[in-house]
A and B are shown apart, each in its own frame.
Chain A
Amino acid sequence: MLVWRINSRERSYTTKDSPSTWERLGGRGLVARILLDEVKPDCDPLGKYNKLIIAPGLLVGHKVSSCDRISFGGKSPLTGGAKEANSGGTTGLSLAHLGIKALVLEDQPTDDKWIVLHISKNGVQFEPADDLIGLGVYRSTEILLDRYGKNVSLVLIGPAGEREYLASGIVNLDKDRVPSRIAARGGLGALMGSKKVKAIVIDAGRGENPPIRDIEKFKNAQKIYNQALKDHPQTKIYHDYGTNAMPGMSDGFGGMPTRNFSAGHFEGLEKIRGETMREIILERDGEGKPSHACMPGCIIQCSNVYPDKNGKTIVSPLEYETVGLLGPNLGIDDLDIIAQLNWEVNDLGLDSIEIGAALGVAAEAGLMKFGDGERALELVHEIRQNTLLGRVLGNGAVITGKILGVKRVPAVKGQAMSAYDPRAIKGTGVTYATSPQGADHTAGLTIRAKVDHLDPSIQANISRTAQINMAGYDTLGACIFAGNGFASAPQAIKELIEARYGWEVSENILQELGKETIWLEKEFNRRAGFTSAHDRIPEWMTKEPLPPNQSIFDVPESDLDHIFDDLDKNG
């Protein structure tokens, strides 16, 4: 597997073997390693010294269910720290089939000429992107697929990334070529835009699976893992209801973000929960699908296609975090409106969590009434039009709060919280506070733990375990839901890695990868100027009780400060 480096100023590229210290890392872990090795921690995230790093996880390339995820990373334009955001779709598979361990975009053009990078076994072509600039993600995808054929994978940004909005993400195609899988968090779309790269076209041809050292052992481990995943009760839940199975659970704990995180129970829950969404999709029929795979070979199929009343697709997929932040967080209880907002946000290439949080802050400032979906669409239209207000919103919740004079901003390290209020799910609050990534549920969600989520004394350990496991899965390229299969068949990770690479690894390889990754990220953040003062939930959440629990975030600061004390460079 090779490291491909693309110099965006010179329009040149190189391919080289990866250094030995990078070999046993992939995905998020490799992003963190490259960041620490090569990116100046004090650099301008949108300047020439930052790098956009794209790396498939260690298990990517073989259609092992839910294990073909692609990581994107760099110094975050939003948080100023280490950033990795990953997505499903086909990008990881295509890069692995070209033998690419990491793709690193470097330097910065000195002119305003946008390019499309075309990557194939013949190398990298630099092609003009003039006709794509200003276009949304959906139209850009149509043009690119017409130009380069239906079998390519695409990595692209929308107008938000072109304008270097801090809430912009990087979009990938799902297996049906819909630009719907977004590495959304941390403003990485702006980083790609700062390199003047509108899109990366990956043509893997017929593709070759990366070599497997011991095919028999790999197949056996895959079979055991697949069976464990099929048998796990969560697989059926995600298959039938998608991630939007979550509202009943988060609301049940009083943790549903409602009207800019001012309450934890949403009175319109029944209208937006996954059970209702499934009924609507089945009743409307047409193009709608309650279950859909984003990656080839996925057993779970937690994605969906949400149709309008005539059966025509509004958006695919409609996911819990988006429903939470663009729904209850705005007081909106209409899935059709939420789906329309989702489509607009996707087309602009934005992070729906960050934009949902920004709109919630804007609503608190009086720019929309909570529950007014049409007004929410108008505000998103302001972003599309690049008006002054649109630019404010497009730069995320923190900037929106500062400019509009709202102190109740749900964010850590500059990044908005996901759809779990940390005063009700305090372990996830610990993750928000202490993850090097900023507030991010995918860094270590704790809601599944069968514990008292309000007891502050037990949360740090729960969060720590979840964070280490998730950093491990992100390094493997495994979806969070693959974890259900691996939890039932823990030997499978060791065996898949050993069979794939011929290495000998311990039974704790998942945790070892996770610890090493978090140490690397925290070390990058330390060098970038982060201290324990950044590992805090916003002060207002430690004072303002959240109904219905009337709870505050009261996990001791000493627990936050020492959660990763034992990690060192060896993980």
Chain B
Amino acid sequence: MIRVVVQLHTIAQKKTKNGRIDKINLEISNGSTILDIIERVDIPLKFEDLLVVIEQKTVAADYQPQDGDIIHIIPAISGG
């Protein structure tokens, strides 16, 4: 098992009675992919509508995170 931190942005954040959850610590099995994590965290968007960023770079759906990674799950927008 490895440990990662999933950082949730905008509409991917979870709303609870105690406020919004923007960070989830996960233990995942070796070989888990980004798609596995998206499913586990229950993100209500398709991968194509997300930008998944680790250390300032986008990663693909089949990327296998490493122990200690901080994974940003960002609902993509086109501009500001």
Q: Do A and B come from one complex?
A: yes
On chain B, the residues within 8 Å of A243 by CB distance are 79-80
Interface residue from A240, A279, A442, A480 paired with B10 (Cβ < 8 Å): A240
Residue total for A at the interface (Cβ-Cβ under 8 A): 44
On chain B, the residues within 8 Å of A418 by CB distance are 80
The docked-state distance in angstroms from the alpha carbon of A480 to that of B79 is 8
Residue pair A250, B72 in contact (C-beta under 8 Å): no
The docked-state distance in angstroms from the alpha carbon of A279 to that of B15 is 12
On chain A, the residues within 8 Å of B22 by CB distance are 275
The docked-state distance in angstroms from the alpha carbon of A240 to that of B76 is 14
- For window 245-281 of chain A, which residues contact chain B by CB distance below 8 Å? 245-246, 248-250, 252-254, 264, 274-275, 279
A549 within 8 Å of B (CB atoms): yes
Interface residue from B11, B51, B80 paired with A319 (Cβ < 8 Å): B80
Residue pair A275, B20 in contact (C-beta under 8 Å): yes
- For window 21-75 of chain B, which residues contact chain A by CB distance below 8 Å? 22, 45, 49, 51, 53, 56-58, 72, 74-75
Task: Give the residue name and chain of the B residue nearest to A243 (CB).
Answer: B80
Interface residue from B20, B53, B80 paired with A321 (Cβ < 8 Å): B80
Residue pair A249, B58 in contact (C-beta under 8 Å): no
From known contacts A233-B49, A252-B74, infer whether A275 and B13 are also in contact, taking CB-CB under 8 Å.
yes
Residue pair A245, B57 in contact (C-beta under 8 Å): no
B78 within 8 Å of A (CB atoms): yes
B1 within 8 Å of A (CB atoms): no
A251 shortest CB reach to chain B, Å: 9
Residue pair A452, B56 in contact (C-beta under 8 Å): no
Residue pair A253, B53 in contact (C-beta under 8 Å): yes
Residue pair A237, B11 in contact (C-beta under 8 Å): yes
B17 shortest CB reach to chain A, Å: 15
Residue pair B56, A252 in contact (C-beta under 8 Å): yes
A263 shortest CB reach to chain B, Å: 12
Q: List 30 A-B contacts (CB under 8 A).
A: A233-B11, A233-B49, A234-B76, A234-B78, A237-B10, A237-B75, A240-B10, A241-B10, A245-B75, A245-B80, A246-B77, A246-B79, A246-B80, A250-B80, A252-B9, A252-B74, A264-B56, A275-B22, A320-B80, A321-B80, A445-B78, A445-B79, A447-B78, A450-B51, A450-B76, A452-B57, A481-B78, A483-B78, A484-B78, A549-B56
Known pairs A252-B53, A418-B80 / 19 extra A-B pairs, C-beta < 8 Å: A233-B75, A234-B77, A246-B77, A248-B9, A249-B9, A249-B76, A252-B72, A252-B74, A275-B10, A321-B80, A424-B56, A441-B79, A442-B79, A448-B77, A453-B57, A453-B58, A481-B78, A484-B78, A548-B56
| In the complex, the 8 A-B pairs of residues with the closest C-beta atoms, listed nearest first | A320-B80, A246-B80, A254-B56, A243-B80, A248-B9, A445-B79, A448-B78, A252-B53
Chain B interface residues (CB < 8 Å from chain A): 9-11, 13, 20, 22, 45, 49, 51, 53, 56-58, 72, 74-80
